[in-house]
Amino acid sequence: MRPAGNTKLKSARVAAGYHTQQAFAEALGVGVRQVRRWESDNPPWPHPDLQQRLTHLTGQDMEALGFTIPLGRDHPSTQRRYPAVAPRSAGSHLSTVPSRSTAPMQPASVASDYASVTRSHRGLYWSVTPANLHPAVMAHADLGCALLSETAGQTRRTVATALAETWLLAGRIEFFDLREPDDAGATLLRALQAAGEADDSLIGSAVLAHTAFIPGWAGEREAAAERMVAARTYARRGSASAEFWAWLDAVEAECETRCGNTRTALHLIRHAEDTLAAGSEHPTPPWMDWFSAARLAAFKGNTEWKAGHLPQARATLLGVLDQLPDVEGKQRTVVYGDLAAVEAAAGQPEEACRYACLALDQLEITWYATGMDRIREVRRALAPHQHDQWVKDLDERLYGWATTVSALAR
């Protein structure tokens, strides 16, 4: 197998927005050959001034970037190697753990055991309250980091793959369920580094596409587009399925929609629909359980609404409700919210309030911050009707003790 090199630095470089070694070298003020040496299997220890530049550009310390501290240098330690990922401390910083410890090596069976818990968390995501599931997922990630230091070969790669999925799930909870984009960005970087340890391009692509949501939702189109280019590059390396390619189109479409480019977004969605219809010979990975034809239609309905195509958006979103299985409670909340927004834009406040209340009903079953964002957006659109009884009734539902405290805390 071809050596993977210093995947920690490679992943941190890509996550920081430097998709080529040349671009990274120019930002650091060094030659590209120097970057190649740092991304090799045995990276040399950089000079102090370059250490400062590296940590400044990537936001990580030298150990987390895959460098071995030489004896007698900055820290009193023996020579150590560090894994690509590590548990996050209670504060805002990310800590590291040694990649080799004094603990005995684990048996090969540890990889399948660890991955089975990862799969269980994947299923629990759809029904368990995010505030309860997130700590369990983070603790599982901490365990995975420890296991990396006690495994080798294929066993280590299997653990690293499951760890990448675990970090990805944690990042999705932080971004979509808890609306903590800064935490999500740091967590997704760890997921990308774990994917690099596993040399798994497809899960690396999925992580990169999720990182595009962060600038995309903030209206930063250029940054989102750069991350999508990287995601598509990794998808080509990983022989992505038609469903995976369609999802990448859908992610980019949502970013374009939030940046005000609904025409481009609708073109991407049409391309995704054609891709799904054509199919492919490559299978969709089992961990990609967040996308389907119905979810693509939900993306479409949201974009149609924001493009002002209200009759089409209404028809699309109602069709999505008919297609969604019962377990898709979180997605159902979003669809109800978008239908409420369509009716508000169409001058039907009573119907808008009805859909908003249905969304609140669903949120009482399974909390989803993205769904609550939709409802708050609808309520702002209903400001001209705030003295109508149905809007007052919505306010009674929307501003209970728990939701009011949550809104003020954000």
Residues 7-21 have pLDDT tens digits of: 889 888 888 778 888
User: For position 331, what pLDDT does the model report?
Assistant: 94
Q: What letter does residue 218 receive in the DSSP assignment? A: T
Q: Where are the alpha helices (DSSP H) in 199-306?
A: 201-217, 221-237, 242-258, 262-278, 293-306
User: For position 89, what pLDDT does the model report?
Assistant: 36
> What confidence tens digit (pLDDT) does each residue in 306-317 have?
999 999 999 999
151: its two tokens: 């495994």
> What confidence tens digit (pLDDT) does each residue in 90-103 have?
333 333 333 444 56
User: For position 85, what pLDDT does the model report?
Assistant: 39
Say what the pTM is: 0.76
Give the separation between CA 400 and CA 408, rounded to whole angstroms: 12
User: For position 13, what pLDDT does the model report?
Assistant: 87
- Asked if residue 206 lies in contact with residue 164, where contact means CB atoms within 8 angstroms, the answer is no
Give the SS3 label for residue 94.
strand
Task: Delimit the domains of the chain by residue range.
Answer: 1-76, 83-199, 315-410
User: For position 3, what pLDDT does the model report?
Assistant: 65
CA 152 to chain centre: 28
255: its two tokens: 């970013």
User: For position 32, what pLDDT does the model report?
Assistant: 86
Contacts of 256 (CB under 8 A, 6+ apart): 216, 221, 262, 264, 265, 268
CATH code, residues 1-76: 1.10.260.40
**Low-confidence spans in the chain with pLDDT less than 50:** 72-101, 405, 407-410
- Tally helices (H) and strands (E) across the chain: 19, 0
Radius of gyration of the chain, Cα coordinates, nearest whole angstrom:
23
Comparing CA positions, the residue from 148, 139, 126, 146 lying closest to residue 166 is: 139
